[in-house]
Structure 1
Amino acid sequence: MDITSLRPKKRSPLRLYFGKKFYITKRYAQWIISRKQYAKKKQMAFLPHSYFTHKTMLLRELKDVDMKLQYNKIINLKIAVSTLNQIVLEPGETFSYWRTIGKPTYKKGYVDGMVLYAGSYRTGVGGGLCQLSNLIYWMTLHTPLTVVERHRHSYDVFPDSNRTQPFGSGATCSYNYLDLQIKNETDATFQLCLEVTNSHLKGEWRGASPSLIRYEVFEKAHQIMPAYFGGYIRHNQIYRKKFNKRGVLLEEEYITENHALMMYEPLLSSSEKMQ
């Protein structure tokens, strides 16, 4: 594992500003000239078969983070969910997270939420939408759909708290150059269904044909090691098992590898982590 790329690099504000502008412009150009068929259509009637459902809590107490940002996140999630809910992914089409949602702006009703940045956080319009991209990515790993673009988190900012998924099983997002794209390479139609309840963000992938495969996502080679430049590096690999309807293992498939610079002391006790 090469951890050199994880060492924090100091860049001037000017370079950061123009660098971001460059990648945003590059993405716009890709959308224009790309021959991809992007998913656009919605269908109000649910497709008949459920492939996978998942939900995550909306409110989570984080050390030194104002809870107002958590409540603002819920506002942002509701706007984004209204845009994505019940979008249909036909065979050959690609779902683009940002192309579908569009740029979060105050004019659209988005508010300032928490945005992870360089190992810490700051406020920004539309903050908190990574919870939605994380959910969609995790659900997609339990379907035959193909993830064609996903970006991992470079920093592990907050300690685990009642974690139910493997480390690194999410997808970070930043408009518009850090996108989540999913292609339907099957011959069946799929539908993304989303909902924000009083307590949870809920999601489901549904399909026109019944699921013949069950997926089990897990991690291997999870380790925490000291970095030569200080601090700790967290690493793992994500795999999934495929089972048929009778529960027979058909295949074990490598998905991705994660490396992140930890921004907290990994050997803290559980009580210390929650303070």
Structure 2
Amino acid sequence: MRAVIVQEPRRRSALRMRLGTAFFCLRRRLRWHTGGLRFARLRPEAECPCLWAEHSTPLLRQLRGEEMALQRNKVTNLRLALSRLDGLTLAPGETLSFWRAVGKPTRRKGYVEGMLLRNGRVAAGIGGGLCQMTNLLYWMTLHTPLTVTERWRHGYDVFPDSGRTQPFGSGATCFYNYMDLMVRNDTEHTWRLTLRLTETHLEGEWRAGAPCDRRYEVYEKEHYIQGEYWGGFTRHNTLYRRTFDLEGTLLGDDFLIENHAIMMYDPMLPGNSPESLPAS
């Protein structure tokens, strides 16, 4: 009898999660079809010769055992997603939806188990690792006049800051399909997203039909770490962006986002203490 009492709430909880996921996925699909949005598409004829932003991130971190195998699988998942995103163009007024472009990652499409985070724990899941793509896309977009209309912050700070080149919280997580990354073109020019995989890195560019006429610096404020009553730590900051013309005149200094995350490592251990980074 005791076993039944313990398992029943778990069944109900799992059922609620499945029903909730189905509801939010359906609502997203309805938004795609009835929201009045015009979406990015391939236009080989569009000329976008002018580089505005570029970035690259390493494909592998030195982790242990099974986690390393999941990272290698991630490369397969990134390659499949890249094939749906590379070359997409944004005409004025159009929106790039990451999940609408990539589609649902399934075994049938060739996706494999990569590394996911579930409730702060590393787990295996089909399509795992695609947040590296949304992280890259989000960071590049912050260095253009394109408008981010939807972004979800990471709920966990996974790795210590060793080798970090961007401020904490400058990425974007994703989960099919209701945690999306969406970018709208509010400029008068057409933009093209270019992506590629090398042996060691995921690389991307935003190019446009007009020359780059400004420069951006993304930086953090109000960075602090807080000990929590349950014994762990949380990390917080806000990100801002300065915009300059090519002569160095400041055009704007704007708030971007606020971040809060549970730390999955001990910041009190030697070498783990996070440090604020200068503007990008």
Instruction: State the TM-score, normalized to the length of structure 2.
Output: 0.90
Residue 151 to residue 24, structure 1, CA distance change in 2 (3 Å): same
CA offsets per residue over residues 88-143 of structure 1, 9 Å max, x none?
A: 00000000000000011111111110111111121111111000000000000000
Residue 15 to residue 159, structure 1, CA distance change in 2 (3 Å): farther
Corresponding position of 2:120: 119
| Contact 2:67-2:115 within 8 A present in 1 as well | no
Instruction: After TM superposition, list the pairs within 5 Å mapping 1:214-225 onto structure 2.
Output: 214-225=215-226
1:73 match: secondary structure: helix
Corresponding position of 2:105: 104
Corresponding position of 1:25: 26
User: Displacement of 1:192 after TM fit?
Assistant: 0.3
Does residue 166 of structure 1 match 2:167? yes
User: Displacement of 1:65 after TM fit?
Assistant: 4.8
User: Displacement of 1:44 after TM fit?
Assistant: 7.0
User: Displacement of 1:149 after TM fit?
Assistant: 0.2
Aligned partners of 2:143, 2:128: CA distance in 1, in Å?
A: 27
Corresponding position of 1:249: 250
Residue 203 to residue 263, structure 1, CA distance change in 2 (3 Å): same
CA offsets per residue over residues 157-206 of structure 1, 9 Å max, x none?
A: 23223100000000000010000000000101100000000000000000
User: Displacement of 1:230 after TM fit?
Assistant: 3.3
Aligned partners of 1:195, 1:45: CA distance in 2, in Å?
A: 19
Corresponding position of 2:3: none
2:246 match: secondary structure: coil
Residue 135 to residue 46, structure 1, CA distance change in 2 (3 Å): farther
| Contact 1:120-1:157 within 8 A present in 2 as well | no
Aligned partners of 1:263, 1:59: CA distance in 2, in Å?
A: 19
Corresponding position of 2:205: 204
> What code does the residue aligned with 1:37 have?
R
Aligned partners of 1:228, 1:89: CA distance in 2, in Å?
A: 47
Q: Which moved more, 1:85-94 or 1:62-71?
A: 62-71
Residue 268 to residue 64, structure 1, CA distance change in 2 (3 Å): farther
Aligned partners of 2:93, 2:226: CA distance in 1, in Å?
A: 42
Aligned partners of 2:273, 2:221: CA distance in 1, in Å?
A: 27
Q: Which moved more, 1:60-69 or 1:222-231?
A: 60-69
Does residue 195 of structure 1 match 2:196? yes
> What code does the residue aligned with 2:41 have?
K
| Contact 2:160-2:273 within 8 A present in 1 as well | no
Corresponding position of 1:270: 271
2:42 match: secondary structure: coil
- For structure 2, the 5+ residue unaligned runs are 1-9, 275-280
> What code does the residue aligned with 1:144 have?
P
> What code does the residue aligned with 2:232 have?
G
Corresponding position of 2:129: 128
| Contact 2:90-2:192 within 8 A present in 1 as well | yes
Corresponding position of 2:214: 213
2:139 match: secondary structure: helix
1:66 match: secondary structure: helix
Aligned partners of 2:136, 2:69: CA distance in 1, in Å?
A: 22
Residue 44 to residue 163, structure 1, CA distance change in 2 (3 Å): farther
User: Displacement of 1:234 after TM fit?
Assistant: 0.3
| Contact 1:46-1:206 within 8 A present in 2 as well | no
Instruction: After TM superposition, list the pairs within 5 Å mapping 1:136-147 onto structure 2.
Output: 136-147=137-148
Instruction: State the TM-score, normalized to the length of structure 1.
Output: 0.91
Residue 208 to residue 259, structure 1, CA distance change in 2 (3 Å): same
User: Displacement of 1:218 after TM fit?
Assistant: 0.8
Greater gyration radius: 2
User: Displacement of 1:64 after TM fit?
Assistant: 6.1
CA offsets per residue over residues 213-239 of structure 1, 9 Å max, x none?
A: 100111111100112343111000001
Corresponding position of 1:5: none
CA offsets per residue over residues 51-109 of structure 1, 9 Å max, x none?
A: 01100000112356531111110011111111100100000000000000001111111
Residue 65 to residue 271, structure 1, CA distance change in 2 (3 Å): farther
> What code does the residue aligned with 1:263 have?
M
1:270 match: secondary structure: coil
| Contact 1:219-1:239 within 8 A present in 2 as well | yes
Corresponding position of 2:74: 73
1:61 match: secondary structure: coil
Matched residue count: 264
CA RMSD of aligned residues (A): 1.9
User: Displacement of 1:244 after TM fit?
Assistant: 0.5
